[in-house]
Structure 1
Amino acid sequence: MAAAMLPQLDRPFLTDAGLETDILFNRGIDLPHFASITLLQTDEGRQALEDYFSGFMELARRMDTGLILESATWRASPDWAEPLGLSPEELDALNREAISLLICLRENASAAYPIIISGCIGPRGDGYDPGRIMKPEEAEAYHFHQARVLVDAGADMLSAITMTNVPEAIGLARTARKLGASVAISFTVETDGRLPTGDELRDAIAAVDESTEAYPAYYMINCAHPTHFASSLDEGAAWTARVRGVRANASRCSHAELDAMTELDKGDPVELAELHRQLQEAFPQIKILGGCCGTDLRHVTAIAESCLSY
């Protein structure tokens, strides 16, 4: 789907919440290596995914918004096959199945509102720590395989979620361009509003746009609390206008603190919703709302009711 045709650029859209933390902590289903792709290996896991997404589909229907269904493929790029005990071919099949499940949900819903199926691609390494940073060319070559599988399976677009560094984001944008696919780039930031590499968000977006002729359809921020990044956004700045979506964490904790936790910090859904309302009031171009670690349907419902009422 061409970027100019993406409906989430023109009207409010919801997306889901913290899939992995919801499945692991709220539903009690183990996720080896935090990889939700493994749910597609069993009937129980597949049903859990269907139940999870169905809640957001009903919310979007009730709130009369569009919905982005993000595939359970955040940790399903080639390097993760061996740790998950899968052959490359088996991992490819699960990637295709993740898109197929969302297509089936959309078809069965016969929804009057638009539903976009997004092929989710996570960082090559850890979502909190950039680790070894690839050059853009290496990142493009690495991510191309999974991206092609997702696009060929029927994804309407690609989303690069929890990007920790600029070169990997550039590589993913170039991968999408090579495939002719729309792509959203979502950066994560630390409590100071900077990427884990120390780059300012404004510089990261500018660098990706400069290196790709502004190919990404839009940018997002995820896996951080609104208090971590709200002050980094500049009202009226051209780069800020490129930020169209937020998928925030429930917790105010840093990535390091979250990584060390053994219990889920669900935060305060009411406070989180109010912070989103304030954010959207200052930056009305932010039309895509969802959640990340620690959030579930309850948080996204509070956010939707607060922001859409405004």
Structure 2
Amino acid sequence: MAQYRSALPQLEGELFLTDGGIETTLVFHEGIALPDFAAFVLLNYPDGQEALRRYYRAYCAIASHYGTGLILESPTWRANPDWASHLGFTPQGLAEANRQAIGLLQALRTDVESGRTPVVISGCIGPRGDGYIADEAMDEFQAQQYHAEQIEVFAQSAADMLSALTMNYVEEALGIVLAARDVHMPVAISFTVETDGRLPTGQSLKDAIEQVDHATAAYPAYYMINCAHPEHFEDALVPGSRWVQRIRGLRANASRKSHAELNEATALDSGDPEELGAQYARLRQRLPHINVMGGCCGTDHRHVEQIAKACKPLFRAAL
């Protein structure tokens, strides 16, 4: 059963790590083929399940070493009806995959959790369409209906919360929040931005966050930014702004490339892990409310370890 659903420990302000770019790690470092970039298909095979465990254990070890909290994000970014149907999953098979994903993380939590390392299980929700392009746009009520099945499966599992990653237009994010509220699940909304710091639709991050908060009475537990390099958004984050205070998490790319460039790339751009860690530390010094830290495309355990190394001293005494 869920352990932290009624009181997410990361809201207390201590450092919580997440993982890096699961799909890019599995494809480029592990040599595993992921059709449609869908990591959840690995749950169908014992070898695939072991690859996922191996991936998550690297982050468990980092959190244990540095005495930080950890958010285990399920490998279900593509586990929604359109992508699953394209991959040959029935609705029943898709629901079972989402349940299996949470079960796998539940077993890992049992192995690693301690007083110094609380482990939160998050059900990951991805966009209906492409992660980089605001295609197949829905209004908020269509998005609510579309994502409700996956959210209901997570609500009936041991997931403590939901994380909607790579949201590239506000109506889909809003629909997810409405569906999460229907089943009383905490939810974090993570927007992606282009090199100009704006959503792919051209909307500012400020307006997107304020629109979701206004329509839902500020239901999201917090907001995040993912799948963009820190230099793409740091200038937009003005310390002290009310909407900026709602951003608690960062899952940045190490690459400075635009989404269009990343889409066309045939080789992985992993950037510089140490540089990324230093950039997170500078952001933390400017914005001390940010305490959920991980990576996105091109990042792996090396980047998250450097983030932990650079940022842990900026927090008060270990848990």
**TM-score w.r.t. structure 1 length?**
0.98
Number of the residue aligned with 2:216? 212
1:80: how far off?
1.5
Separation in 2, partners of 1:114, 1:153: 18
Q: How high is the sequence identity, in percent, across the aligned residues?
A: 53
Number of the residue aligned with 2:72? 69
Deviates more, 1:218-227 or 1:124-133: 124-133
Separation in 1, partners of 2:208, 2:6: 23
Number of the residue aligned with 2:207? 203
Number of the residue aligned with 1:118? 122
* 1:175-186 aligned within 5 A: 175-186=179-190
Number of the residue aligned with 1:158? 162
Separation in 1, partners of 2:217, 2:102: 29
Deviates more, 1:3-12 or 1:47-56: 3-12
Are residue 59 (structure 1) and residue 62 (structure 2) matched? yes
RMSD of aligned alpha carbons: 1.1
Are residue 222 (structure 1) and residue 216 (structure 2) matched? no
* 1:97-108 aligned within 5 A: 97-108=100-111
2:83 to 55, 59, 80: 80
Number of the residue aligned with 2:294? 290
Query: Is 2:27–2:33's contact at 8 Å kept on the other side of the alignment?
Result: yes
* 1:5-16 aligned within 5 A: 5-10=7-12, 11-16=14-19
Separation in 2, partners of 1:275, 1:228: 12
Are residue 45 (structure 1) and residue 48 (structure 2) matched? yes
Separation in 2, partners of 1:110, 1:251: 32
1:89: how far off?
0.9
Separation in 1, partners of 2:51, 2:136: 34
Query: Is 1:3–1:217's contact at 8 Å kept on the other side of the alignment?
Result: no
Structure 1 residues not aligned, in runs of 5+? none
Separation in 1, partners of 2:114, 2:88: 37
Query: Is 2:74–2:121's contact at 8 Å kept on the other side of the alignment?
Result: yes
1:110: how far off?
4.5
Are residue 281 (structure 1) and residue 276 (structure 2) matched? no
1:252 to 256, 279, 301: 256
Number of the residue aligned with 1:145? 149
Separation in 2, partners of 1:180, 1:174: 10
Query: Is 2:113–2:119's contact at 8 Å kept on the other side of the alignment?
Result: no
1:132: how far off?
2.5
**TM-score w.r.t. structure 2 length?**
0.95
Query: Is 1:22–1:294's contact at 8 Å kept on the other side of the alignment?
Result: yes
Secondary structure of the residue aligned to 2:156 is helix
Moved >6 Å (runs of 4+): 1-4
1:157: how far off?
0.5
Deviates more, 1:61-70 or 1:2-11: 2-11
Number of the residue aligned with 1:300? 304
1:193: how far off?
0.2
Q: Deviations over 1:32-85 (max 9, x none)?
A: 000000111111110011011111111111111110000000000111222111
| Structure 1 counterpart of 2:109, one-letter code | R
Deviates more, 1:269-278 or 1:251-260: 269-278
